[in-house]
Amino acid sequence: MGTLYIVPTPVGNLEDITFRALRVLKEVDLILAEDTRTSGILLKHFDIKNALQSHHKFNEHRAVEGVVQRLLGGSNVALVSDAGTPAISDPGFLLVRECVRHGVEVQCLPGATAFVPALVDSGLPNDRFCFEGFLPQKKGRATRLASLQAERRTMVFYESPYRLVKTLTQFAENFGPERQASVSREISKVHEQTVRGTLAQLVEHFTANEPRGEIVITVAGIDE
């Protein structure tokens, strides 16, 4: 029986990949990639020539069974996403769940993920926090925000730069404009930036300065 390796890949700087991740990607029988073009660039950079197969949110449900059968047959498989740790706001959970159900060994390598540096950089309490990932874009969004109004822990969200101002405005409406927060973008890249302040100040800043890149929003919990 083979092993499924969950392999984090850099969210920005390619130097953030680990030696173990590179070894696993070279040694496995198959690499599952969220986007084979994106992962192909990474593999080419490190001179890794291995079988690559697409595994994303649009084919994940129908592809899982075939992957599990390969693992049961003795193949070792690595799963990577475009950036960061697979299954964290990326495809991967369904495959891991099915492997666990079938008794296939799963090893998740430690490595890059965007929300940890953003949380630490925010300066907000991080002894207790909740990761909310991407909010629902439409249905269920208002309900989710309402359910977080009494949250005491620091909250961490992922967001698109195109929806950032709208989301910060909704946060101000639900959590209060004076709630402390931070926005981190382009983590581990050349133009990495963290902007801190109240939600009202962040709305003003990003209304005047169009945001670009991958976004992590960190919001303080309600004061006790």
pLDDT, averaged across the chain: 93
Question: What pLDDT is attached to residue 107?
Answer: 96
For every residue of 162-212, DSSP letters joined together read TTHHHHHHHHHHHH-TT-EEEEEESTTSTT-EEEEEEHHHHHHHHHHS---
Same domain, 135 and 51: no
Question: What pLDDT is attached to residue 134?
Answer: 94
Last residue of a domain, one of 61, 87, 108: 108
Summarised one tens digit per residue, pLDDT across range 38-86 is: 899 999 999 999 999 888 777 777 788 889 999 999 999 999 998 999 9
φ, ψ of residue 85 to 5 degrees: the values are -95, 120
For residue 133, the enclosing domain spans: 115-219
Residue 224 counted as domain residue = no
Q: Round to whole Å and give the CA distance between 27 and 76.
A: 8
Q: What residues contact residue 178 under an 8 Å CB cut-off, 6+ apart?
A: 198, 199, 200
For 20, 80, 154, the CA distances from 12, given in Å and listed in that order, are 18, 15, 24
Overall domain count for the chain: 2
Summarised one tens digit per residue, pLDDT across range 92-145 is: 899 999 999 999 999 999 988 999 999 999 999 999 999 999 999 888 899 999
Same domain, 70 and 121: no
CB environment 199-223: b (16+ within 10 A), e (fewer): bbbbbebbeeeebeebbbbbbbbee
Residue 208 counted as domain residue = yes
Question: What pLDDT is attached to residue 224?
Answer: 52
- Helices (H), strands (E): how many in the chain? 8, 10
Question: What pLDDT is attached to residue 187?
Answer: 92
Summarised one tens digit per residue, pLDDT across range 185-205 is: 999 988 899 999 999 999 999
Helix ranges (DSSP H) in 73-125: 93-101, 115-122
Q: Round to whole Å and give the CA distance between 22 and 171.
A: 40
Residue with tokens 């973008």: 185
Last residue of a domain, one of 108, 138, 159: 108
Summarised one tens digit per residue, pLDDT across range 25-46 is: 999 999 999 888 989 999 999 9
